[in-house]
Structure 1
Amino acid sequence: MFIPKPPVFSYRFHALLTAFIGWLTFSGHSLASEVEHHQFFSPTLGYDYPYSIYLPDNYDAQATDAYPVVYMLHGSFNTDRDWVSRGNLQQVADRLIAAGHIPPAVFIMPGSRSWWVDGHNEPARSAFFNDLMPHVEATYRVGQERHLRGVAGYSAGGYGALNFALERPELFAAVAALSPASYVPLPPRNSTAWRHPSFINDQGRFDRELWQNLNYTNYLEEYRLRVTPRGTEDEGDLSPVPLYISAGRSDVYDAEFHARILRQAMERIQPNDVRLDLYPGGHTWKVWRASLPAALNFLFQYVGQENSPEDT
């Protein structure tokens, strides 16, 4: 029996229709949230502080309950827009919220000329705590309690996020560090830290002492004392800040090696509150995009949870 072939245009029409429906679905999904770019004058810096913000679908500035907020720090020589333009944060957050894996939340992506330290070029750490956080909490309906805040970052931003959580554990319910540039005792020679203005002294040289004084290793003992119950009047007054770490197995800065050192150091303090995920790839957005869903799922096991570490 002869069966005529369907005309070619029917296949093309079906393909176009399928693509159009997919486009509508994706467009509707991508428009469920909003990403805005703002700046405000920072007294600490003496100039405008840029930041990008992700607002979830149906964000309500008058909501009874405050939204959880996560501060997302960028890497060396990058900007506040990279998490969205290169990291797919908006799409990932939309998808996880729509699936019910994480609650509707606000993501703040600040910009910095530093490695998130009070370095030789700008007091980025002080500006974050003294200017950015108060501005955000006064401008948006976000939580001002520990259990409603998280902090995360990639590369130099992972270095900064880790330092912030260790220095100020009373402020954050959890922290995620993706390929953190938290190198011990010094950065590898191919790291941009050796030429970054944050660590270049007046003589034009890399400031080794500043690096070591500002790295996470310098915060560990005080952090341990604050979060470790000891059964005395000096007993730690806070629960630990759970830590998520990721790294690429072929990272040119040996991020896997340094991530393992970090995990070992933190597990001595909080053995049940550290997770390390390793991914194929290098020190690239391929790894950070791949690990972002796991990082956010980890963070929101604690951020926004009433049974997370106690507020202060």
Structure 2
Amino acid sequence: MGLTSNNTLVPAVLAAVALFAGTVWLWPRLARRGWRSVSGRIGLLLATQLLIFVSVGLAANQAFGFYASWADLFGRETDQGVVVDHTPGNRSGGPLKVTEIGGVPGRSGFRPSSVGQVQKVDIVGPTSHIASPAYVYLPPEYFQERYRGRTFPASVVLTGYPGTARALVDKLHYPRTALELTKDGRMQPMILVMLRPTVAPPRDTECADVPDGPQTETFFAKDLPEAVTAHYRVGRERGSWGIIGDSTGGYCALKLAMHHPQVYAAGAGLSPYYNAPVDPTTGDLFQGDRKLRHLANLWWCLKHLPAPDTSLLVSSSKVGEKNYKDTLKFIERVKATETTRISSIILESGGHNFNTWRREIPATLEWVSGRLGGRSAIGE
């Protein structure tokens, strides 16, 4: 029974309810002063509290997608590497391999030309030597005859830490939302590449190139766009790529757009922070390298580096988000530059959670779409 399965959650909830009822039923019999009665009361209370805690934890994990499996929870992921066939001219080889094909959750119909398609893929970075699974949403237009010769803009979509890539599909509804917005004419057809920034689990690398460690920034700035562009009909001209993320993924999206504006013409951070933390989940990211530490600090980048030619979007809430004041400050810092453009989504209230981000995602997708190339070609 998987960590995110109802087959795990339902028995846990039923067991908690049954034990609570049993505690109430047996309590009068244990209302004595002997050591057996006292031990019985302590045991029942501890067991009931433990099962309630497990049930709430399982429900929260299922709702927010913190951990994908028991191995992920206990830091024992054993995903095997992907064999890459680099035979020239073989589109089935290369750094991207499709492993599963499915429809868009929440939308009836199986014809890709009507509802699009979600493909699960494995991506291997030849430069970073990082392998990561991802989900790719292809819009209906990708399969339609009149668009056969067209290229499409693409956007990377990142979870928070630890997060699960599947949550972007099933919980945050990125493919379904993109499909609806395109049908309503609010955004152009766009390919979405959805994955988590934790490409070297269980370590949180904050999308940095760690000395003698995971080269995460190289993976996202070079390997991933090249792999996707080689496999799918994504535009190769500048302005074809955007990047979106929430929480840790939001920080990564802003940093990658600022560090690599020639790759990412737009970066959207939902509930982001603006400087990489160093804690037990990250380990020593910089190993004494002051330059790497500075580059991970977006405040430092705005003050000391040339303003990048890119567009940024940040979001926060006046009530419920800890980053509200920092976000207003970041907006003012970017506005003071000459070449970086800044937009924002500020809610009256909202938390650091899926419900808040679902309220921001439609406007975010529309914003990113409007800043990427390909509209004239695809819209003909």
Shorter-chain TM-score: which interval? 0.7 to 0.9
Q: Does the 8 Å contact 1:53/1:106 carry over to 2?
A: yes
Could you say if the C-alpha distance between residues 129 and 213 of structure 1 is closer, same or farther in structure 2, counting changes exceeding 3 Å? closer
Letter in 1 for 2:115: A
Identity between Structure 1 and Structure 2 (%):
26
Q: Distance in 1 between matches of 2:130 and 2:342?
A: 37
Which residue pairs with 2:259 in the alignment? 167
Letter in 2 for 1:39: D
Which residue pairs with 1:27 in the alignment? 108
Which residue pairs with 2:329 in the alignment? 261
Which residue pairs with 1:10 in the alignment? none
- 2:355 paired with 1:286: yes
Could you say if the C-alpha distance between residues 217 and 277 of structure 1 is closer, same or farther in structure 2, counting changes exceeding 3 Å? same
Bigger shift: 100-109 or 242-251?
A: 242-251
Letter in 2 for 1:296: L
* Aligned-residue offset at 1:68: 0.8
* 1:169 match: secondary structure: coil
Which residue pairs with 1:39 in the alignment? 122
- Structure 2 runs not aligned, ≥5 long: 1-105, 199-204
Which residue pairs with 2:305 in the alignment? 222
- 2:254 paired with 1:155: no
Q: Distance in 1 between matches of 2:246 and 2:290?
A: 22
Letter in 2 for 1:77: P
Which residue pairs with 2:31 in the alignment? none
Bigger shift: 283-292 or 43-52?
A: 43-52
Computing the radius of gyration from Cα coordinates, the structure with the larger value is 2
Letter in 1 for 2:226: P
TM-score (structure 2 length as normaliser): 0.60
Q: Higher relative contact order by CA 8 Å / sep ≥ 6: 1 or 2?
A: 1
* Aligned-residue offset at 1:57: 1.1
Which residue pairs with 1:76 in the alignment? 161
Q: Does the 8 Å contact 2:235/2:374 carry over to 1?
A: no
1:244 to 300, 308, 313: 313
1:116 to 199, 207, 210: 207
Q: Distance in 2 between matches of 1:130 and 1:170?
A: 11
Which residue pairs with 2:180 in the alignment? 95
TM-score (structure 1 length as normaliser): 0.73
Letter in 1 for 2:361: L
* Aligned-residue offset at 1:198: 5.3
Q: Distance in 1 between matches of 2:172 and 2:193?
A: 14
Aligned length: 258
Q: Distance in 2 between matches of 1:139 and 1:198?
A: 34
Which residue pairs with 2:366 in the alignment? 297
Q: Does the 8 Å contact 1:35/1:52 carry over to 2?
A: yes
Q: Distance in 1 between matches of 2:193 and 2:337?
A: 29
* 1:176 match: secondary structure: strand
* Aligned-residue offset at 1:46: 3.6
Could you say if the C-alpha distance between residues 213 and 301 of structure 1 is closer, same or farther in structure 2, counting changes exceeding 3 Å? closer
